Amino acid sequence: MYKLVKTYLLLLVGFLACSTSYASDVKILYQEANQLYQEGKFDTAAVRYESILQLNKVAPEVYYNLGNCYYKMNNIPSAILNYERALRLAPGDDDIVFNLQLANYQTIDKVEVLPKLFIWRWWDGLRTLFSFDGWAYLGVISLFITILFFTFFKVSRDMVVRKRLFYPGLIAGIFTVLALLAAENQYAEKKSGKEAIIFTPTLTLKSSPDKTGKDLVVVHEGLKVVVIDKLGDWSKVRLSNGAVGWVENTSFVII
């Protein structure tokens, strides 16, 4: 028994030491990347930020800083890609939104967005207030509050107290549903991998998944599209104005 406990403690100490070392390595890489960026060495800084992402240290500030590097290097598609990835982790962040707009101004295509009903515009604005983790935490907290309110509601015999507990509990319950729906929506969007950025300088959307298909629309690098179907080496994409066509899988990168 003593040997088993000793072995467990040694493994635990080793794990904690490795975790500390890993965190230290990431911190050093991040500091080096920031310093290189300040010195104007944007290409080398980008390599450092990419190294952090390869260590599975995904964070909005890493994607944001990497996007800034590519923007300074005039690599607009890569800048937009990383700003979009940062925005998924930190929805509504003013700096990310502003820099993404600047990068989009540098693209050739200015595709009009199909108008949405008010309810969907409201929902998009609501669900992007927080990240997936933020909505999930809020949902769990509000669920606990809802249960607490209705527990006291059930055990209370005073009608005045029951009325005072019912409506706050109902509001908390509605908020719980909205928070969990927003979290689920963001999670599904993240996992679906449907949105992508075009990386081919000039790209022609085809009517069928082959090079002999009829030319439909010409688009350029940096444009965001939605992947709606896939067949072999080709994918069917939709533009924000509703136009659809087939492109080769190598012409875009999933956000």
Determine the average pLDDT of the residues in 101-111.
90
Burial 16-36 (b: 16+ CB within 10 A, else e): eeeeeeeeeebeebbebbeeb
What digits encode the pLDDT tens for the residues 5-60?
A: 344 334 444 443 444 444 567 889 999 999 999 999 999 999 999 999 998 888 99
**Domain around 12:** 2-105
Pair 187, 222 in one domain: no
CATH value at residue 98: 1.25.40.10
Pair 225, 238 in one domain: yes
Q: Which is higher by pLDDT, 95 or 193? A: 95
* 113 lies in some domain: no
Cα–Cα dist 32/26, whole Å: 10
Nearest to 95 by CA among 107, 86, 105: 86
Domain count, the chain: 3
CATH value at residue 245: 2.30.30.40
* pLDDT value at residue 7: 40
Q: Which is higher by pLDDT, 187 or 102? A: 102
Q: Which of 105, 140, 156 lies at the terminal end of a domain, its last residue?
A: 105
Q: Which of 177, 192, 207 lies at the terminal end of a domain, its last residue?
A: 192
* 110 lies in some domain: no
**How far from chain centre, in Å, is Cα 202?**
26
| Cα radius of gyration rounded to whole Å, the chain | 24
pTM across the whole model: 0.70
Cα–Cα dist 73/75, whole Å: 5
* 111 lies in some domain: no
What digits encode the pLDDT tens for the residues 57-76?
A: 889 999 999 999 999 999 99
* 10 lies in some domain: yes
What digits encode the pLDDT tens for the residues 77-86?
A: 999 999 999 9
Q: Which of 105, 134, 163 lies at the terminal end of a domain, its last residue?
A: 105
